[in-house]
Structure 1
Amino acid sequence: MTTTTHPGFRIFILGAGFSRPAGLPLASQLYPAVKPLIEGQYGTDTKFDRDLNYYLGYCDDCGVTGQTKDALDLELFMSYLDIEHYLELRGSDTWSREGNESQLMIRRVIGQVIHEGTPAADKLPDYYYRFAEMLSPRDIVLTFNYDLVLEAALTQVGRRFRRYPYRFTSVNEYGGTLDSDTEEVVLLKLHGSVDWFDDSQFSDSRESLKAKGVGKIGLHSVFDDPKRYGVKPLVVGMLPPNDPLIHLHTIQDVSRYYSQDRGFNAPFILSPSHVKFVYASPVMSLWNGLGRAGGYNLGVSVVGFSLPTYDEYIRIGLHQMLKNYASWWDSPMLGVLKDYARFVDYKPEQADQDAYRERYKFAGADRSRFFLNGFGPDALDFLFNQPRVA
């Protein structure tokens, strides 16, 4: 397989187009898979069904067209549910801090669809392993995908990685001392992951019951018995006080969870919603400082992320990052020039290509290069084997 001696310090931003060639569904393909799974597992007389009917009535009343029970825009439906829950429009009739019943059902089943659609770790297309091998220690991957495709590829080729920003040798109330000796790829999943669970509400409920003298009762099918699915903290090692990442855990037996668990829980994923960021508190540590990134990086590549107009919070972050990236453009760092900002996506029609370039025009036409035939072997050559030279 191909290797690289690049010094790293590059940023790779991955969207759904990165995982699509492995067989993962796009957001527009989720609803036809989600609805029958919910009905098969929970029946048709559920809060999901009642919320769906109410939403369709809302659409009729407000002139939102193209929405039917068998074919609707899941992102619009989730936006409706997220707004209703976040603003507490139901008052005290709220299931949990993580969401109401319908939101949890949908996120749980999205996780199942994504997991079941992911090939086995040794059955991915070869170019995923090549991509993983071509990453260097000190590279940072920012992904908006829930799946475990890249984790599987990195593990398969023996590339060391972590899924949190920093390792610390010591911590204090102001932060801590960074471990600068451990070299590994940093993979930050900004929208969560199918194998992540947040224990904050479980912990609060357990402490509340304990204070009232209530003995052990079932609260959460994942955290009640940590051995059942192999629960482990997401972060290995120390964390500064009050870092919300302390509440995020991974499960090791992901297949068992999605095939057997029928608990009313959901993985920590930010739903495909136009207002998903309002639920981002548990992963704020992953976002912190991204607007200052780019200045000292040697590459910024965007793979399979079309920057939809409703994800304005992502546009703001990328805009700041790429503006910073323009600094020291003609001065070599660590013996190499900063690369062009590179964009990979699948846009077969000229009109779509023009619109895509227009969307990313803030990267600077003279500092950008585009490959619009989709992620695959040729995209690897574009990303890794065409360095900018003086």
Structure 2
Amino acid sequence: MSEHPGYRIFVLGAGFSQPAGLPLAGNLFEKVVQIIENQYGRKTKFQTDLDEFKRYARDTRTSLDLESFMSYLDIEHYLKLRGSKTFNEEGNESQIMIRRAIGKIIQIFTPSAEALPKVYYKFVEKLRPHDIILTLNYDLILERVLEHLGIPFRLFPMRYSEVSDDFAIGDSSKDEIIILKLHGSVDWFDEREFRHMQNKLEDFDGRVVTHPVFSDPNKYQASPIVEGPRFPDDNLKNIYRIKKIDEFYIEDTSFEAPFILAPSAIKFVYAKPLMEFWHGLGRAGAANLGLSVIGFSLPSHDEYIRILLFKIAENYKSLWNTPFLNTLKEEIKVIDFRKNQNEKNVLLERYSFFHSSEECFWFEGFNEKSVNFLFKKSRK
């Protein structure tokens, strides 16, 4: 059997990370509160905000969960309801505490490359150059497996050989897998606020502001997530990845948080630094040879993801019987865990716009058998 040429799209949700033992969103709230209380105590702005939200949830019959709490905080911050008491552009105090706590929890629960379940190695070994992974997860499971196996990958959409103010020449000289972390990552840090405060303080009285990552980039081996020439206004240049991530979460006691879009119904309002990931993504699919979703149940509050998947799926269905690189497109596949037929029907309804038969759904969660299902060719 000839090797698949790649050019497939894989969309990953929290269910992809569950075999590694990472907590799902519903289990995060209690752990987040515990982490924050252990580090800062109970007399904090976080506790004040949490008590206020509990009153709001009681009086408005809003769910008392992490996503609802973050939505409340995001709206307060984005609309600057505090006025001059708004903490900074990255968020108010509670938002930053929560992002940092989420980062620490996920890193604590993420196994080392050697300890990760075999299902991840089986999945990664079947990937090919030019496959695209759109992940909604913050963890480092994929990066650890790929690096352990020595498989090249990049964390940004396009590589360029030359860039000017209004055009760029693409660089396709490297065969690599593309991973776009649409909601950020536990090992990413945005330097913009630090540089802003640094310049502001230096202009004011010569004082210097410090940052655990950017004051000494070598300490945790920080480097930009992008490589090569970039457009001058490319915000991705401000996002850095640190390699010594375990050391950071063990040693650092600062108030700095990783760049992640925390669980919230309006998280996308903080996506500006990652807009290069989203730019033109709604035109993807037509020239791809596979489209699969793993571990993402498509809840109603993630309408922006539903719109994205709808657009990609519509594009994907075009040129259906036209071979590309001597290969036909495969049926759209969905992997998720469902306990009974009622739950299966809910998932089928949510993804009805895929127009895929039930045979294209795997309801036993992400496991080694599901990898066989995922990569099995059904169209010759």
Q: TM-score, normalised by structure 2?
A: 0.97
Distance 2:11 2:24 in 1: 17
Give 1:351's aligned residue. Answer: 342
Give 1:235's aligned residue. Answer: 226
Give 1:70's aligned residue. Answer: none
1:78 counterpart (60, 63, 70) = 70
Give 1:18's aligned residue. Answer: 16
- The answer as to whether partners of 2:332 and 2:356 remain within 8 angstroms in 1 is no
Distance 2:171 2:141 in 1: 27
- The answer as to whether partners of 2:16 and 2:295 remain within 8 angstroms in 1 is yes
The number of equivalent residue pairs is 380
Gaps of 5+ in 2: none
Identity %: 48
Query: AA paired with 2:30?
Result: P
Give 2:146's aligned residue. Answer: 154
Shift of 1:222: 2.0
Distance 2:195 2:335 in 1: 42
**After the TM superposition, which residues 278-289 of structure 1 pair with which residues of structure 2 at under 5 Å, given as runs?**
278-289=269-280
Distance 1:164 1:282 in 2: 12
1:145 counterpart (111, 114, 137) = 137
Matched position secondary structure for 1:302: strand
1:93 counterpart (85, 91, 105) = 85
Give 2:308's aligned residue. Answer: 317
Query: AA paired with 2:112?
Result: A
Q: Give deviations 1:186-235, integer Å, cap 9, x for gaps.
A: 000000000000001111121223333514233x2221222221211111
Give 2:203's aligned residue. Answer: 211
Q: Give deviations 1:247-271, integer Å, cap 9, x for gaps.
A: 1001111111111111111000000
Give 2:34's aligned residue. Answer: 36
Shift of 1:95: 1.1
1:363 equivalenced with 2:361 (yes/no): no
Query: AA paired with 2:379?
Result: V
- The answer as to whether partners of 1:21 and 1:375 remain within 8 angstroms in 2 is yes
Give 2:99's aligned residue. Answer: 107
Matched position secondary structure for 1:319: helix
Give 1:63's aligned residue. Answer: 61
Identify if the C-alpha distance between structure 1 residues 4 and 46 changes in structure 2 by more than 3 Å, giving closer, same or farther: farther
Shift of 1:32: 1.5
Shift of 1:103: 0.5
Shift of 1:314: 0.6
1:291 equivalenced with 2:282 (yes/no): yes
Q: Give deviations 1:287-318, integer Å, cap 9, x for gaps.
A: 11110000010000000011110011111110
Matched position secondary structure for 1:192: coil
Give 1:169's aligned residue. Answer: 161
Distance 1:366 1:144 in 2: 25
Matched position secondary structure for 2:339: coil
Distance 2:368 2:61 in 1: 45
User: RMSD value over aligned CA atoms?
Assistant: 1.5
1:185 equivalenced with 2:183 (yes/no): no
Matched position secondary structure for 1:343: strand
1:127 equivalenced with 2:105 (yes/no): no
Distance 1:368 1:297 in 2: 21
Shift of 1:172: 1.1
Matched position secondary structure for 2:292: strand
Query: AA paired with 2:247?
Result: R
Shift of 1:181: 1.5
Distance 1:322 1:121 in 2: 33
